[in-house]
């Protein structure tokens, strides 16, 4: 991504942070600053602080927020480039081609956006559309929700959408590519969705990428149809409402996973806004990753019937293997969340969550036990097999707990319950240790020279060490030598080489003999000038940020290599780099 540094600086400097933050937070003036309730976490006393002087909007409680771009990116949950683009537009800064890499999918997103408007207009401005609104209102979906979720209606005509999109100068090929129009055998074109209630679907960045459409004809066998998989829409990579709910998910630190779109909408309308829905009954790794980006806590709220229970059992393993904390909400039989919320309201739903959720293992285990006749040896064997499947990826404490429980329930010896030893599941997105980029040699040189100085006397040791924190070091082994030097000086007032070496273990001794005792400053007994001492101390003080930068650099290249977009890392990287921009010389030695 190539965004001109100057553009970024201009946006950061020219954005009025108070005005920007006020769009999302109610602020009150406190001295030079403004305070408000944090939009990123739940709180009762304000810890979200906006400083016009520093141009920063940040929470002192949870640490979220920052300068304008970062704040905007986090609060809207959009990529860095998108935040830059939107903030530039607010300021009337024109982004030149080359400032920002043009998204090759932009033309597809634009088609989808126009299609969403077309369906919306048809919902409110046609006789058939008004009947759909009536149907929605009967389902207790109010007009505000209809608008918020951009619900629409696809008219019962051959090619109205096609014509509307062509009138907006979209390419026929592109329209076909996003799955909205098909070509007939006679060469004419027809709309893919007709006479259906349209649910627009956004990706995790809030871009419209496809539709799910509900039939309005009770005789239709296909109750729901979705956009086909296209270059921008992969059903298995999408979770309904995940972008729109992201702020509430982070605030509650929990995601509610529903089965249906109506569940999400009803919940939202009743002020439960951290709900999302799957696009079917399975959950892909990609989708689990989307969840895990926002929170580790999942509450599954599927229908109370057998289908709902089975769907829950089906998605549990993937969630648990990814080390999410999962609870399952039990609803009265024959009730779906949509019914429950719209009949009983938010408070009853929250009460149900509080009193009627059980953890995922408990849920799975009790289902298993319920379906087993423990007097039938065949069924007991099946039970043990299923139990093995459930436990083999689990943390040791869970395995232990359920082995004991099963032994008691089946009245068998715990020793006979075997759980396969599986290599602990490593979520794929936890980066493996790759060759680490090393900090430039000059940092190590600085630390070695300071150590040689600190060895000269206890006074020097104290003078230098008091200026450094545990985060200021070039390599861990050298910082270790400094620590041991401190231990040595707490026992001794003068430096004695032989005694000091008794404080060192093998590896440390090795490091000391090779890196310190062979150093020219040691050999030639060189003294440092005051200016040099200051320079070396300030070099070590740069290392904490640089190590973070290296870590990010590693992560960015790793993610890009795996076809992922490392936006969070990129944003932080750029921010950190800006902070360190006075460090002009190269600070790392390549891979
Ligand atoms: Zn906060």
CATH code at position 264: 3.40.1360.10
**Separation of CA 555 and ligand 1 centre (Å):** 26
**Separation of CA 252 and ligand 1 centre (Å):** 11
For 215-228, give one letter per residue: b (16+ CB within 10 A) or e. ebeeeeeeebebbe
Q: How confident is the model at residue 428 (pLDDT cuts 50, 70, 90)?
A: very low
pLDDT higher than threshold 70 for residue 584:
no
Per DSSP bridges, beta strands 33-36 and 28-30 are antiparallel
In a domain, residue 526? The reply is yes
pLDDT higher than threshold 70 for residue 102:
no
**Separation of CA 138 and ligand 1 centre (Å):** 39
**Separation of CA 31 and ligand 1 centre (Å):** 20
pLDDT tens for residues 410-419?
A: 999 999 898 8
**Separation of CA 76 and ligand 1 centre (Å):** 15
Q: How confident is the model at residue 502 (pLDDT cuts 50, 70, 90)?
A: confident
Lowest mean pLDDT among 76-80, 111-115, 133-137, 432-436: 432-436
CA–CA gap between residue 261 and residue 146 (Å, rounded): 12
**Separation of CA 34 and ligand 1 centre (Å):** 14
Residues 127 and 178 in one domain: yes
In a domain, residue 241? The reply is no
**Separation of CA 39 and ligand 1 centre (Å):** 6
Q: How confident is the model at residue 432 (pLDDT cuts 50, 70, 90)?
A: very low
Q: How confident is the model at residue 581 (pLDDT cuts 50, 70, 90)?
A: low
CA-to-CA dists, residue 308 to 312, 326, 371, 576, angstroms: 6, 16, 16, 47
- Separate counts of helices (H) and strands (E) for the chain: 25, 16
**Separation of CA 60 and ligand 1 centre (Å):** 7
Name the domain boundary from 41, 60, 91: 91
Joined together, the tokens standing for residue 487 give 């231990």
Q: Which domain holds residue 32?
A: 5-91
In a domain, residue 428? The reply is no
Residues 78 and 203 in one domain: no
Q: Using CB atoms within 10 A of its CB, is residue 94 exposed (0-12), middle (13-18) or buried (19+)?
A: exposed
Mean pLDDT score, 443-448: 93
pLDDT higher than threshold 80 for residue 471:
no
**Separation of CA 247 and ligand 1 centre (Å):** 11
pLDDT higher than threshold 60 for residue 589:
no
CB 232, CB 105: distance < 8 Å: yes
CA–CA gap between residue 240 and residue 219 (Å, rounded): 26
Which sign, positive or negative, has the C-alpha torsion 459, 460, 465, 466? positive
pLDDT higher than threshold 50 for residue 303:
yes
In a domain, residue 24? The reply is yes
What is the structure's pLDDT at 42?
Answer: 81
What is the structure's pLDDT at 433?
Answer: 32
What is the structure's pLDDT at 438?
Answer: 62
**Separation of CA 19 and ligand 1 centre (Å):** 19
Residue 51 β-bridge partners: 56
Q: Using CB atoms within 10 A of its CB, is residue 550 exposed (0-12), middle (13-18) or buried (19+)?
A: middle
pLDDT higher than threshold 60 for residue 97:
no
In a domain, residue 98? The reply is no
Residues 116 and 182 in one domain: yes
pLDDT higher than threshold 60 for residue 430:
no
**Separation of CA 539 and ligand 1 centre (Å):** 33
pLDDT higher than threshold 70 for residue 75:
yes
Residues 346 and 268 in one domain: yes
Name the domain boundary from 44, 67, 91: 91
**Separation of CA 223 and ligand 1 centre (Å):** 42
For 501-521, give one letter per residue: b (16+ CB within 10 A) or e. eebbeeebeebbeebbeebeb
Name the domain boundary from 91, 121, 142: 91
pLDDT higher than threshold 80 for residue 463:
yes
pLDDT higher than threshold 90 for residue 93:
no
Pick the closest to residue 588 from 435, 442, 391 (CA basis).
Answer: 442
**Separation of CA 358 and ligand 1 centre (Å):** 28
CB 274, CB 252: distance < 8 Å: yes
Residues 467 and 540 in one domain: yes
What is the structure's pLDDT at 426?
Answer: 45
Q: How confident is the model at residue 572 (pLDDT cuts 50, 70, 90)?
A: confident
**Separation of CA 290 and ligand 1 centre (Å):** 21
Instruction: Find the CATH number of the domain harbouring 451.
Output: 1.10.860.10
Residues 194 and 281 in one domain: no
In a domain, residue 18? The reply is yes
**Separation of CA 342 and ligand 1 centre (Å):** 31
Helical (H) or strand (E) element with 504: none
Residues 177 and 126 in one domain: yes
Mean pLDDT score, 166-180: 96
**Separation of CA 587 and ligand 1 centre (Å):** 34
CA–CA gap between residue 559 and residue 366 (Å, rounded): 40
Helix (H, G, I), strand (E, B) or coil at 215: strand
Count up the domains in the chain and report the number. Answer: 5
In a domain, residue 367? The reply is no
Helix (H, G, I), strand (E, B) or coil at 440: coil
Q: How confident is the model at residue 436 (pLDDT cuts 50, 70, 90)?
A: very low
């Amino acid at each position: 991504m190539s965004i001109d540094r100057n553009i970024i600086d201009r946006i950061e400097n020219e954005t009025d942070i108070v005005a920007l933050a006020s769009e999302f937070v109610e602020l009150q003036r406190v001295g030079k600053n403004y305070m408000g309730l944090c939009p990123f976490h739940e709180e009762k006393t304000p810890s979200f602080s906006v400083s016009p002087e520093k141009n920063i909007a940040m929470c002192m409680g949870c640490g979220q927020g920052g300068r304008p771009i970062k704040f905007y990116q986090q609060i809207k949950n959009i990529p860095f480039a998108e935040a830059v683009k939107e903030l530039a537009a607010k300021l009337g800064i024109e982004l030149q081609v080359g400032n920002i890499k043009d998204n090759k999918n932009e033309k597809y997103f634009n088609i989808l956006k126009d299609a969403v408007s077309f369906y919306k207009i048809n919902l409110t401005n046609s006789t058939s559309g008004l009947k759909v609104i009536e149907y929605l209102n009967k389902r207790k979906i109010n007009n505000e929700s209809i608008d918020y979720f951009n619900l629409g209606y696809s008219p019962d005509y051959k090619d109205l959408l096609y014509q509307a999109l062509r009138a907006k100068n979209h390419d026929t090929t592109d329209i076909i590519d996003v799955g909205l129009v098909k070509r007939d055998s006679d060469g004419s074109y027809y709309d893919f969705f007709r006479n259906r209630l349209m649910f627009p679907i956004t990706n995790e960045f809030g871009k419209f990428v496809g539709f799910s459409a509900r039939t309005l004809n009770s005789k239709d066998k296909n109750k729901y149809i979705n956009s086909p998989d296209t270059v921008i829409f992969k059903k298995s990579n999408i979770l309904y409402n995940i972008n729109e709910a992201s702020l509430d998910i982070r605030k509650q630190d929990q995601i509610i996973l529903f089965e249906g779109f109506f569940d999400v909408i009803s919940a939202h309308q009743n002020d439960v806004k951290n709900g999302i829905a799957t696009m079917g009954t399975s959950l892909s790794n990609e989708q689990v990753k989307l969840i895990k980006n926002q929170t580790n806590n999942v509450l599954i709220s599927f229908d109370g019937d057998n289908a709902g229970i089975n769907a829950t059992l089906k998605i549990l393993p993937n969630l648990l293997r990814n080390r999410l904390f999962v609870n399952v909400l039990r609803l009265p039989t024959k009730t779906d969340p949509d019914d429950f919320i719209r009949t009983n309201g938010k408070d009853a739903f929250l009460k149900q969550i509080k009193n009627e959720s059980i953890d995922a293992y408990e849920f799975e285990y009790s289902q298993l036990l319920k379906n087993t006749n423990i007097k039938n040896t065949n069924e007991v064997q099946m039970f043990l097999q299923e139990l093995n499947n459930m436990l083999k990826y689990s943390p040791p404490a869970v395995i232990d707990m359920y082995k004991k429980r099963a032994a008691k329930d089946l009245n068998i010896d715990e020793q006979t319950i075997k759980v396969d030893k599986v290599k602990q599941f490593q979520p794929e997105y936890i980066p493996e240790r790759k060759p680490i980029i090393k900090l430039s040699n000059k940092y190590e040189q600085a630390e070695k020279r300071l150590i040689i100085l600190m060895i000269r006397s206890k006074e020097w040791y104290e003078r230098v060490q008091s200026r450094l924190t545990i985060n200021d070091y070039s390599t861990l082994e050298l910082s270790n030598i400094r620590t041991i030097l401190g231990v040595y000086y707490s026992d001794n007032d003068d430096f004695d080489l032989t005694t000091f070496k008794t404080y060192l273990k093998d590896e440390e001794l090795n490091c000391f003999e090779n890196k310190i005792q062979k150093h020219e400053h040691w050999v030639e007994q060189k003294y440092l000038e005051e200016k040099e001492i200051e320079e070396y101390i300030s070099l070590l003080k740069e290392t904490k940020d640089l190590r973070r930068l290296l870590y990010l650099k590693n992560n960015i290249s790793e993610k890009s290599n795996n076809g992922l977009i490392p936006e969070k890392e990129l944003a932080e990287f750029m921010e950190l780099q800006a902070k360190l921009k006075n460090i002009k010389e190269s600070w790392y030695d390549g891979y």
